[in-house]
Amino acid sequence: MSSVVVVGAQWGDEGKGKITNALCSDADLVVRFQGGANAGHTVSLDGVPIVFHLLPSGISVPGIQNVIGPGVVIDPIALAVEIAGVTERGVEVGENLLIDVGAHMVLPYHKALDAAEERARGQSAIGTTHRGIGPAYADRCARDGIPIGALAAFDEFRPRFEEAVARKNKHITRLYGEQPLDAREMLEQLYPVAQTLARHLADTPEMIREAIRAGLNVLFEGAQGTLLDVTFGTYPFVTSSSTTAGGVAIGTGVPPSMIGEVIGIAKAYTTRVGAGPFPTEVTDDTARMIQERGAERGATTGRARRCGWLDIVALRYSIAVNGIKRIIVTKLDVLDSFETIKVCVAYDIDGRQTDCFPRTADELGRVNPVYVEMPGWMSVTKEARHESELPPRALAYLNEICRLADVDLCSVSVGAKGEAIVEFTSVF
Ligand code: IMO
Ligand code: MG
């Protein structure tokens, strides 16, 4: 089948944007199905990095139809800024971008509430990106949200927005003791944004289904990662959407039976931004080396990412939840100068060894990782473009992690450049 889901197999930042962008030469459609401007997908454009938050990573590739599906929550102001930014970089954003009318909006009060809720959580803060994601999805579920299609009739949107602001201001002032938001000011900001976005609004589910029926190559670009899924992640230290392959069906209107393959993206090690358990986290020189070599800083918030070794227990869990048969390993080059590389193969929980990923964050917080050690390859991999150009020990590492995770290898990314990929099997 011609539809492929690219899903993060860890805690996000696996390189989904780069991979999606790289696969565009064979794709016709790229569809975002969940998340919002909390995503930070770094893609190389003419050799210079560019970060997409809401725009699908196919936007810079001519001839690709990009869709922001109904499962995404869209901050219209952030999207307009992003469109202006990429346009400045010479990328044309016209008919190649469709925004589904049913995608809910992240409005300024959602961002204010996200920040206020985080402050109120104190020590138990989740470490959100403050992009208003949780409050926007909560409003959608509570039937209090506003779909982006509403911007097309601004005169009708205006009173609906004013009424929402009046109610949210009660929360903001009475519950959190903060300053109320000014509806008029926000409407002034939203009006030109509505004009910019109006021409992209569309009814997209049938269009995507038809593309799949017609045999076009459709790529679903996941945001965040499996372990941040609101149901299957390390709750409550998760995001508020279904980041797993199942999210495609509910976030695009494409039924599970029309989804072809699910490809998992995993770094050759692990990172996490924000709070929550992370069994293989390291905090010594190793962490600093990974952080520096991998430029492990959040593309959305600029926060330093927590770093650690590859966790096979977590990876196997992701593979099971998503139905992943092939993985793409990214950032292999970051491990180039390690004499020894550790891989977590099991967890020790209260003296008992297991290879099952715990279902509660509390239990996950108590595990001790059981490691095997592998010799590093101590040579540069970033110029490799073919399997034969990878050092034997790097190949051994890749083979071993695939054996342990019981998954096939699709390709390996060895650098930030778009072409820095070694392909083992092709995606489409
Ligand atoms: P990409 O698509 C890594 C994390 C935040 C926080 C938690 C909840 O680039 O992989 P939220 O703002 O979503 O309510 O924050 O989720 N988080 C991410 N971590 N990569 C992302 O996106 C993330 N999006 C959210 O750090 O821990
Ligand atoms: Mg990211």
- For the chain, residues classed under CATH 3.90.170.10 are 266-423
Whether 147 and 103 have beta carbons less than 8 Å apart is answered as yes
Using a 6 Å cutoff on CB, does residue 38 contact ligand 1? yes
- For the chain, residues classed under CATH 1.10.300.10 are 108-198
Q: In this model, does residue 1 exceed pLDDT 70? A: no
**Mean of pLDDT values over 230-235:** 98
**Mean of pLDDT values over 155-173:** 98
Q: Which residues of 61-76 are buried (b: 16+ CB within 10 A; e: fewer)?
A: beebbbbbbbbbbbbb
- Which residue's CA is the closest to the ligand 1 atom numbered 23? 224
- Please report the atom of ligand 1 found closest to the CA of residue 35: 13
Question: For residue 210, how far is the Cα from the chain centroid?
Answer: 26
Taking the centre of ligand 2 as the mean of its atom positions, its distance from the CA of residue 14, in whole angstroms, is: 7
Using a 6 Å cutoff on CB, does residue 127 contact ligand 1? yes
CA dihedral 147, 153, 155, 161 (to 10 degrees): 10
Average pLDDT for the chain: 97
Pocket perturbation via mutation, ligand 1, pick of 128, 265, 296 by most ligand atoms within 8 A of CB? 128
- Please report the atom of ligand 1 found closest to the CA of residue 300: 9
Name the pairing type of β-strands 368-375 and 340-349. antiparallel
Using a 6 Å cutoff on CB, does residue 331 contact ligand 1? no
Q: In this model, does residue 11 exceed pLDDT 60? A: yes
Using a 6 Å cutoff on CB, does residue 113 contact ligand 1? no
Q: How far apart are CA 102 and CA 146, in angstroms?
A: 9
pLDDT for 299: 87
CATH of 266-423, one of 3.90.170.10, 3.40.109.10, 3.40.50.2000, 1.10.10.10: 3.90.170.10
**Mean of pLDDT values over 395-411:** 98
**Mean of pLDDT values over 257-262:** 97
Distances from the Cα of 387 to the Cα of 43, 119, 381, 412, 418, angstroms: 23, 49, 11, 9, 17
| CATH code for residues 2-103+201-261 | 3.40.440.10
pLDDT tens-place string over residues 272-289: 999 999 999 999 999 999
Using a 6 Å cutoff on CB, does residue 239 contact ligand 1? yes
Taking the centre of ligand 2 as the mean of its atom positions, its distance from the CA of residue 226, in whole angstroms, is: 13
Whether 248 and 220 have beta carbons less than 8 Å apart is answered as yes
Identify the band that residue 300 occupies on the pLDDT scale cut at 50, 70 and 90: confident
Q: Which residues is 313 bridged to in the sheet?
A: none
Identify which ligand lies nearest to the alpha carbon of 32: 1
Q: How far apart are CA 28 and CA 63, in angstroms?
A: 7
Identify the band that residue 310 occupies on the pLDDT scale cut at 50, 70 and 90: very high
Q: In this model, does residue 261 exceed pLDDT 60? A: yes
Name the pairing type of β-strands 65-68 and 29-32. parallel
pLDDT for 308: 98
Whether 193 and 80 have beta carbons less than 8 Å apart is answered as yes
pLDDT for 181: 98
| Nearest C-alpha neighbor of 300 from the set 224, 367, 369 | 224
Q: In a 10 Å sphere around its CB, with 0-12 CB exposed, 13-18 middle and 19+ buried, how is residue 41 labelled?
A: buried
| Nearest C-alpha neighbor of 338 from the set 306, 275, 297, 290 | 290
Using a 6 Å cutoff on CB, does residue 133 contact ligand 1? yes
Taking the centre of ligand 1 as the mean of its atom positions, its distance from the CA of residue 403, in whole angstroms, is: 29
Using a 6 Å cutoff on CB, does residue 73 contact ligand 1? no
- Please report the atom of ligand 1 found closest to the CA of residue 40: 9
**Mean of pLDDT values over 334-359:** 97
Catalytic site residues?
Answer: 13, 41
- For the chain, residues classed under CATH 3.40.440.10 are 2-103+201-261
pLDDT tens-place string over residues 80-128: 999 999 999 999 999 999 999 999 999 999 999 999 999 999 999 999 9
pLDDT tens-place string over residues 131-146: 999 999 999 999 999 9
Q: How far apart are CA 166 and CA 184, in angstroms?
A: 11
Contacting residues for 404 by C-beta, under 8 A, at least 6 apart: 312, 316, 343, 345
Identify the band that residue 35 occupies on the pLDDT scale cut at 50, 70 and 90: very high
Q: Superfamily assignment of 108-198 in CATH?
A: Adenylosuccinate Synthetase, subunit A, domain 2 (1.10.300.10)
Taking the centre of ligand 2 as the mean of its atom positions, its distance from the CA of residue 177, in whole angstroms, is: 32
Q: How far apart are CA 184 and CA 401, in angstroms?
A: 55
Structure tokens at 325: 């048969």
Whether 265 and 17 have beta carbons less than 8 Å apart is answered as no
Helices 154-170 & 183-198, crossing angle to 10 degrees?
140
Q: How far apart are CA 189 and CA 185, in angstroms?
A: 7
pLDDT tens-place string over residues 364-389: 999 999 999 999 999 999 999 999 99
Using a 6 Å cutoff on CB, does residue 134 contact ligand 1? yes
First to last CA, the chain: 9
Percent of the residues in the chain that have a pLDDT greater than 90, as a whole number? 97
**Mean of pLDDT values over 46-63:** 95
Taking the centre of ligand 2 as the mean of its atom positions, its distance from the CA of residue 17, in whole angstroms, is: 8
Q: In this model, does residue 219 exceed pLDDT 80? A: yes
pLDDT for 207: 98
**Mean of pLDDT values over 224-252:** 98
Q: How far apart are CA 407 and CA 26, in angstroms?
A: 23
Taking the centre of ligand 1 as the mean of its atom positions, its distance from the CA of residue 182, in whole angstroms, is: 28
Pocket perturbation via mutation, ligand 1, pick of 13, 38, 131 by most ligand atoms within 8 A of CB? 38
Using a 6 Å cutoff on CB, does residue 17 contact ligand 1? no
**Cβ neighbours around 323 below 10 Å, total:** 16
Pocket perturbation via mutation, ligand 1, pick of 273, 297, 331 by most ligand atoms within 8 A of CB? 273
